[in-house]
């Protein structure tokens, strides 16, 4: 494994407030979500996925999207993104001036139906006017491709299907694309194949990795992506996360673990690991749960002496 030509800097999108909390059964008050965002930006995160403007019937935890967006204190230099699955979501998000919106599709038909109640083709038709409206308003558009390696309903997903979806997303004007291993089944070579399939349509600088850690492969998958030159990743503080429509999926790769790995290899993130650990502890305490971050746990215990 050649580790000599890795990127010198990595940009992390913190998805804890959104992906992290959307899967929580217990209601998390807007005030807690707002404080989490404040703590994450204080720790140096420059990209925060704050919430989703989705149907509250589908994801009740995100029903307070407007309240959360209205409640955060925005810091210059930090970019705030939100998920918008349709025009209704985009119009609801728009007054809050997100820096970026995310449209989310799936490489698998079955997951597309389960998660957003339509086929892949229909989802692209639905996203097209959202992307056009966002770009006309000067809002950056990111896309997410779920089940880019495996699907809870269809099993393994071939790279050709990822390439096909990436082409459709590019075709409607999506500017940056996330390759998501929604259920964390991917292993490094499979993840590299999914990324290479995406690179047929998107520039290396416009591709990110979004790895759930269900099978403990997320850091390895990240390293495999770094080897291809990918330098944008999503991560979730305390390893929170999961998708309510992806059975068996657990949290995203923990931001603390990612930062520990990257800093250990001399790769810059601009993040203060100590403050990040505090943010992880804050939300884990609220959820009455131990952090899922191994580095977070180890460093927190070390602090206690
Ligand atoms: P639908 O039921 O087909 O939509 O859902 P509809 O257009 O028929 O509307 C049904 C009802 O929902 C109507 O209300 C609409 O007004 C309302 P009613 O008339 O019955 O009272 N509605 C909305 N309300 C608020 N905001 C909206 C909205 N749209 C419709 N935007 C829909 C289709 C896409 C809306 C639904 O399936 C949905 O909201 N799905 C979201 C699922 C979701 O959020 N999943 C998790 C995020 S994706 C993820 O985690 C993966 C990712 O992390 C990457 C990875 O790991 O793979 C990104
Ligand atoms: Mg996810």
pLDDT of residue 1: 60
- Report how far residue 195's alpha carbon sits from residue 163's, in angstroms, rounded to the nearest whole number: 9
Q: Dihedral of CA 60/61/64/66: which sign?
A: negative
2 within domain boundaries:
no
Catalytically annotated residues:
243
- Please identify, by atom number, the ligand 1 atom nearest to the C-alpha of residue 104: 58
Domain containing 70: what range? 11-304
What percentage of the chain reaches a pLDDT higher than 90?
94
Chain mean position to CA 203: 19
pTM value is 0.97
Beta carbons of 130 and 137 less than 8 angstroms apart = no
- Please identify, by atom number, the ligand 1 atom nearest to the C-alpha of residue 106: 57
- Report how far residue 219's alpha carbon sits from residue 113's, in angstroms, rounded to the nearest whole number: 29
pLDDT classification of 210: cutoffs 50, 70, 90? very high
Question: How many CA atoms are closer than 13 Å to the CA of 164, on its beta-carbon side?
Answer: 11
Beta carbons of 86 and 130 less than 8 angstroms apart = yes
Which tens digit of pLDDT belongs to each residue from 80-121?
999 999 999 999 999 999 999 999 999 999 999 999 999 999
- Report how far residue 140's alpha carbon sits from residue 92's, in angstroms, rounded to the nearest whole number: 16
Q: What is the mean pLDDT of residues 184-206?
A: 98
pLDDT of residue 263: 98
Domains in the chain, number:
1
Mutating to test ligand 1, I would choose from 54, 119, 178 the residue with most ligand atoms within 8 A of its C-beta, which is 54
- Residue 139, phi then psi, degrees to nearest 5: -100, 130
133 within domain boundaries:
yes
268 within domain boundaries:
yes
Distance in Å, CA 238 to ligand 2 centroid: 14
4 pLDDT more than 80: no
Burial class (CB in 10 A: 0-12, 13-18, 19+), 274: exposed
Please tell me the residue having the least CA distance from ligand 1 atom 24: 55
Task: Give the lowest-confidence range in 176-180, 216-220, 246-250.
Answer: 246-250
Beta carbons of 81 and 101 less than 8 angstroms apart = yes
Distance in Å, CA 305 to ligand 2 centroid: 35
256 within domain boundaries:
yes
What percentage of the chain reaches a pLDDT higher than 70?
99
4 within domain boundaries:
no
Look up the CATH number of the domain holding residue 196.
3.20.20.70
């Amino acid at each position: 494994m050649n580790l000599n030509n890795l990127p010198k800097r990595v940009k992390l999108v913190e998805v804890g407030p959104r992906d992290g909390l959307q899967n929580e059964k217990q209601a998390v008050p807007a005030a807690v979500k707002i404080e989490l965002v404040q703590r994450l930006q204080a720790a140096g995160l420059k990209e925060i996925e704050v919430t989703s403007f989705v149907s509250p019937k589908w994801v009740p935890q995100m029903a307070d999207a407007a309240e959360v967006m209205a409640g955060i204190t925005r810091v210059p230099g930090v970019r705030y993104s939100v998920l918008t699955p349709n025009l209704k979501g985009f119009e609801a998000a728009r007054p809050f001036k997100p820096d970026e919106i995310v449209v989310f599709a799936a490489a698998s038909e079955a997951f597309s139906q389960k998660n957003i109640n339509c086929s892949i083709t229909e989802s692209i038709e639905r996203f097209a006017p959202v992307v056009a409206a966002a770009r006309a308003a000067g809002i950056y558009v990111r896309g997410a491709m779920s089940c880019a390696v495996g699907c809870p309903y269809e099993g393994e997903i071939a790279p050709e299907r990822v390439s096909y979806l990436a082409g459709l997303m590019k075709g409607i004007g999506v500017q940056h694309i996330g390759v998501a291993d929604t259920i964390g089944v991917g292993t490094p070579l499979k993840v590299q194949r999914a990324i290479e399939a995406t690179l047929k349509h998107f520039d290396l600088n416009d591709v990110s990795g979004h790895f759930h850690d269900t099978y403990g492969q997320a850091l390895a998958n990240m390293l495999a992506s770094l080897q291809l030159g990918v330098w944008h990743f999503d991560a979730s503080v305390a390893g929170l996360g999961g998708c309510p429509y992806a059975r068996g999926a657990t949290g995203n790769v923990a931001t603390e673990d990612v930062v520990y790995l990257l800093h250990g290899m001399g790769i810059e993130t601009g993040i203060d690991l100590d403050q990040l650990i505090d943010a992880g502890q804050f939300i884990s305490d609220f959820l009455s749960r131990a952090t899922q971050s191994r580095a977070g746990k180890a460093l927190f215990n070390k602090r206690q002496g």
